[in-house]
Amino acid sequence: MPVTPKAPLAIVALATLLSLVVFTLPLTTLEAMTAALGLGPAQQAWIMSGMPLGAACGLLIAGAFGDTLGRRLTFVGGLWLTALASVAAALAPTGLFLIVARVVQGLGSAGIMACGLGLLGQIYEGEPRRRAAAIWAAGLGAGVALGPILAAALLPIGGWPAGHWAIALAATILALSASARLPESPRSPHRVDLTGGLLLMLGLGCLLSALTELRLGAFGVVGLLALGALAFLALFLRTERRAPNPILRLDLFAHAPFTGATLAAFASGAGVLALMSLVPTVLVRGMGQTPLMAAFVLLAWSALTAIAALSAHRLPARWSSRQRVIGGIVGCGVGQALMLLATPAASWAILVPGLLIAGVSNGILNAALGHEAVQSVPPERAAMGSAANNTARYLGSALGIALISILIAGRDGERFFAGWHEAVVMSTLFSGLAVFAMLGLARERGSLGAR
């Protein structure tokens, strides 16, 4: 029996964890950033949204670079870009400079996320691939768990820049390790579809910017950005139909497993990820907890997400990835619904059962999605499958966070929790709609197979 290499999996999993640390860093440092840089409400919103904006815009083009020029090259490039952007963020003299650095951090994370899972897909086969996908998914949960705690713990040592310095150091070490220990993927003779990549980045940039401005009530700007997003995305779809080497093969959406995995990733972003990302806000603003305490309470979700993903291989082998995805979304929906128990008079402990259920379910969901993302596309397009899946997750989270933020913005006391309850219902509906869509795709797939 061949020995399965461990170093590539460790490097990819740690780099994935680092990307999620970058994503969550402002959760417990935004107040310190605001005090140091004099940030207004708009700049605070953009600092929170900058990294996911850059990641969503860059994922598919990073996947195209990986499949065409080499996945290791793109993965390592993403790590170096993350390191440089983090140094810039740590040295940021103004809010605008920090926002730009956060967007570039997202672009670096796009290279990591798009090609990390693709590299695992080319290195591992069969059951080792399923186990590698579970460990990769555990990195997602561990990053969400460690990011806020790491940032809060470093505040007394070096202020809010300390977290960015730590990220820069970790990204540098991982970039050097990846260059030495990861294999390169075969290169494609085709040229990268730069036109399609530029149009997609502009379209998603306008879309996510519109969602950010929507949180601030700038409806005129939102309308202009939405029109720009529609125009650029329409041009992108037209370009992809004609491109010899598209960054997103539209014909893959005729394949039920790929469509299902993409829909489920979007639903997990708009549903459980968006709602749980704002649980610290409920704990701090609604229940009077400290940011560090809120980060520890969130571990009931984020840490269990990592543990459940690592343990997902112990589930019965007869359960398909699609069944695990559906079960995971259902469980997440139950955990989300239990967030309705939060009230002004309630203790933080009332949230723990929902966090635990959502954590276990989200871990199973992430592991199954990681496997489906590379399993549902041709082997030479593994980075595209991973990029499409993660793009859907980031888009969903951006939409969900924007809508939830609008519902709770400027509210206190009973009004705050009324808005929170509306947000819980909305995010749970996202999960419910995803389940119905997955079941519909399964029936369609079965009817096509019977013909």
pLDDT tens-digit map of 11-21 = 999 999 999 99
Percent of the chain's residues with pLDDT above 90: 29
Within its chain, how far is the Cα of 62 from the centroid?
Answer: 15
pLDDT for 444 equals: 53
C-alpha 322/C-alpha 449 separation (Å) is 16
pLDDT for 389 equals: 80
In this prediction, residues 17-34 reach a mean pLDDT of 87
In this prediction, residues 283-308 reach a mean pLDDT of 86
Residue-level length of the chain:
451
Residue 450 scores a pLDDT above 50: no
User: Which pLDDT band holds residue 192 (cuts at 50, 70, 90)?
Assistant: confident
C-alpha 269/C-alpha 430 separation (Å) is 9
- Hey, is 39 helix, strand or coil? coil
Within its chain, how far is the Cα of 439 from the centroid?
Answer: 24
Q: Which residues contact 450 (CB under 8 A, 6 or more apart)?
A: none
C-alpha 86/C-alpha 99 separation (Å) is 11
CB 279 within 8 A of CB 297: yes
Q: What is the pLDDT of residues 52-108, one digit of tens each?
A: 888 888 888 888 888 888 889 999 999 999 999 999 999 999 999 999 999 999 999
pTM reported for the whole predicted model: 0.79
User: Which pLDDT band holds residue 449 (cuts at 50, 70, 90)?
Assistant: very low
**What is the signed CA dihedral for 118, 121, 122, 128, rounded to 10 degrees?**
150
User: Which pLDDT band holds residue 383 (cuts at 50, 70, 90)?
Assistant: low
pLDDT for 296 equals: 86
C-alpha 396/C-alpha 290 separation (Å) is 28
Place of tokens 């960015």: 164
The secondary structure of residue 1, as a DSSP letter, is -
pLDDT for 413 equals: 78
Of 206 and 406, more confident? 206
Q: What are 425's two structure tokens?
A: 């219902």
User: Which pLDDT band holds residue 394 (cuts at 50, 70, 90)?
Assistant: confident
Residue 237 scores a pLDDT above 80: yes
Residue 195 scores a pLDDT above 80: yes
Q: Which residues contact 364 (CB under 8 A, 6 or more apart)?
A: 308, 309, 312, 315, 324, 327, 328, 331
* Cβ count near 186 (within 10 Å): 10
Task: Report which secondary-structure segment, H or E, holds 308.
Answer: helix 291-311
The overall average pLDDT reported for the chain is 84
Place of tokens 């170096």: 80
Counting beta carbons within 10 angstroms of the beta carbon of residue 400, is it exposed (0 to 12), middle (13 to 18) or buried (19 or more)?
A: buried
C-alpha 214/C-alpha 222 separation (Å) is 6
CB 70 within 8 A of CB 114: no
C-alpha 47/C-alpha 96 separation (Å) is 9
> Please, what is the end-to-end C-alpha distance for the chain in angstroms?
40
User: Which pLDDT band holds residue 209 (cuts at 50, 70, 90)?
Assistant: confident
The secondary structure of residue 29, as a DSSP letter, is T
Q: Which residues contact 318 (CB under 8 A, 6 or more apart)?
A: none
CB 334 within 8 A of CB 319: no
Of 417 and 128, more confident? 417
pLDDT for 442 equals: 61
User: Which amino acid is residue 355, in one-letter code?
Assistant: L
pLDDT for 127 equals: 78
**Residue 346, phi-psi category: left (phi > 0), alpha (psi -120 to 50), beta (remainder):** beta
pLDDT for 15 equals: 96
Residue 3 scores a pLDDT above 50: no
Exposed e or buried b for every residue in 263-290, given b needs 16+ CB within 10 A? bbbbbbbbbbbbbbbbbbbbbbbbbebe
Question: CB pairs under 8 A, 24+ apart, for 341-345?
Answer: 342/282, 342/286, 342/287, 342/417, 342/420, 342/421, 343/417, 344/286, 344/287, 344/413, 344/414, 344/417
Place of tokens 């993302």: 373
C-alpha 71/C-alpha 417 separation (Å) is 46
